[in-house]
Amino acid sequence: MEFLEPVSVIDPRRADLDRLKRHARELKDAFDAGNSAARELVARHLPQRASEERLKLAYAQLVVARTYGFKSWPRLKAYVEARQLDGAALRDAALNSAFESNDFALRAVFERRSDLDSSDLYVAAVLADVDALARALAAHPERVNAFGGPRNCPPLVYLCHSRLGELEPAFAERRLECARLLLACGADANAGPKNEHGGTLSALYGTVKPPGDPEFCRLLLEHGARVSDGESLYHASELADLRCLELLLAHGPEERDREWCIVRMIDHDNADGIRLYLKHGTNPNHLCAALFRERSLGCLQALLDYGADVNQICPEDWLRKRVAGLTPIQIAERSGYDAATLLLLAHGAADNRGPRDFLIGACARGRRSEVERLLAEHAGLVASLAPADHSNLAAFARAGNRAAVEIMLDIGFDIEAKADDMVCSALLYAAMGGHLELVRLLVARGASLTATHSYGGNALGTALWCAANFRNPVGNYAGVVELLLRAGMKQRDDELPFALDHGLEDVAAVLIAHGRQAADAP
């Protein structure tokens, strides 16, 4: 059977998806027939499968993708599909690219920007084509605030959210000029559709997407953009550059928005950002939120400097159930956060720590002898623990605190207790962080392999997802995946393509090896 490498036949910029699919099928058939060229190609791009007798079609597609420099078939597919669009479909893809995270489709649209009809008001806006936008507005000035396109947005929103600036250095300057033109023609700085959270997909929100554009943000605020749109203040609190946040706070967001969004700043442990909020009159009583996240002393000091109540009882909410009803010093004690405890005492905190606080704190610090002393002095202490107390086991697993978890398991804490935003057990949180030795301990102690978190994922899927999207830089995700598979967790068909698509070569090697072992099993 004759077989030609795809790269010698097709340029992906001119390829159609059907042809690529046929070539993948031809590669599979040639490989299965023992064709030397096909097998050499697989050995070059997917050596883990080169010794197989037969090649799965999904692997053949992966090899085809890699011949063009794409890590996976889905990435090649997204690129080629976007390259094939024309007319209304290409227009919609360009407008949708402002709000989507598909980088390969974005690049394909960018490469074909000259094929777009820039006389279309929305297209001119998303391209930040100043001359085309001026002509479109001159022809139809009444449409300056018209909602349209696939996202039903006005031109200013498409302009502000456009991602094409990621591929074109001069885009930011043109975007600002286009915004001035739209506003001069009467564009409403507050127009935009409602999103699924009840907020507004506003133009202002687009200016605070990373890395943030303070000049653009200022322009919209000067033209009456409302800060309290449900998105802008929250996302500005995620930026390291505080200039956008300072502008927003100076324009008077609603108190409820400041209350909500200072917590986002606390999440990011940005003491300077917290002080900005406090300078603009935000309530400083967020010590419980800061201590729940174990934020820095600088963050705590900022709240204290503005009068935070050191004895405030933490209210219960969906996130902080584990610390509800506790004072700041109790939360600090349970985390083993000695410096925070001393800081609170120095600011006049009442010391209401009790045996349960000291027990959990001793576990956090890995002080087994102190734990044994507390148990000897307080009969029935572990039996008196509430479900919220047991959930600290999961929290310590999330932090990778193996010593704490081992002591807690030894004295009777619930191994399946779940905690915090993901409602995860200790095993799920340990897998999330790639904490191999902790996962090994929990599996050995009988942790449930079928436990799931609030989104329905199990430990294996969670390890894969976090390795790709929220990776702990010191986590051993390949080791965790291998251990979980050996423990009896089942590999899903979509997990290997996911690992390959996200460049998780070490994890993919484990999945491939396990799949081969499963196939060889009697």
Give the tens place of pLDDT for each residue, 54-83.
998 888 998 998 888 887 888 888 888 877
**pLDDT score for 77:** 85
Encode pLDDT of 116-143 as tens digits.
Answer: 999 999 999 999 999 999 999 999 999 9
What is the domain partition of the chain in residue ranges?
A: 6-81, 284-350, 354-520
Distance CA 158, CA 94 (A): 10
Identify the DSSP state of 200. Answer: B
Mean pLDDT of 398-422: 97
Pick the CATH number of 354-520 from 3.40.50.300, 1.25.40.20, 3.30.70.20, 3.90.1150.10: 1.25.40.20
Please say whether the beta carbons of 207 and 172 come within 8 A: no
Q: Quick check: do 284-350 and 354-520 share a fold?
A: yes
**Which CA distances in Å does 334 have to 97, 337, 405, 413?**
46, 8, 13, 14
Distance CA 1, CA 42 (A): 16
In the numeric block, which tokens belong to residue 452? 């799931």
Encode pLDDT of 282-323 as tens digits.
Answer: 999 999 999 999 999 999 999 999 999 999 999 988 899 999
Q: What is the mean pLDDT of the chain?
A: 92
**pLDDT score for 521:** 52
Per the confidence metrics, is the pTM higher than 0.85? Answer: yes
- Asked if residue 8 has pLDDT above 50, the reply is no
Question: In terms of DSSP H, where are the helices of 237-296?
Answer: 243-250, 255-267, 271-279, 287-292
Place of tokens 């031109």: 155
What is the dihedral sign for C-alpha 433, 435, 441, 443?
Answer: positive
Tell me whether residue 449 is exposed, middle or buried, using C-beta atoms within 10 angstroms of its C-beta: 0 to 12, 13 to 18, 19 or more: middle
- Asked if residue 197 has pLDDT above 80, the reply is no
Identify the DSSP state of 149. Answer: T
Mean pLDDT of 180-206: 91
Question: In terms of DSSP H, where are the helices of 9-72?
Answer: 17-32, 36-45, 57-67
Q: Which DSSP helix (H) or strand (E) runs through 355?
A: helix 355-364
Encode pLDDT of 353-406 as tens digits.
Answer: 999 999 999 999 999 999 999 999 999 999 999 999 999 999 999 999 999 999
What is the dihedral sign for C-alpha 298, 302, 308, 312?
Answer: negative
Q: What number of H helices and E strands is found in the chain?
A: 31, 0
Q: Side chain identity at 411, as an amino acid letter?
A: I
Please say whether the beta carbons of 329 and 298 come within 8 A: no
- For the chain, the first-to-last Cα distance in angstroms comes to 33
**pLDDT score for 13:** 59
Q: Which residues contact 471 (CB under 8 A, 6 or more apart)?
A: 434, 477
Tell me whether residue 468 is exposed, middle or buried, using C-beta atoms within 10 angstroms of its C-beta: 0 to 12, 13 to 18, 19 or more: middle
**pLDDT score for 2:** 47
Mean pLDDT of 229-257: 96
Level-2 CATH architecture, domain 284-350: Alpha Horseshoe (1.25)
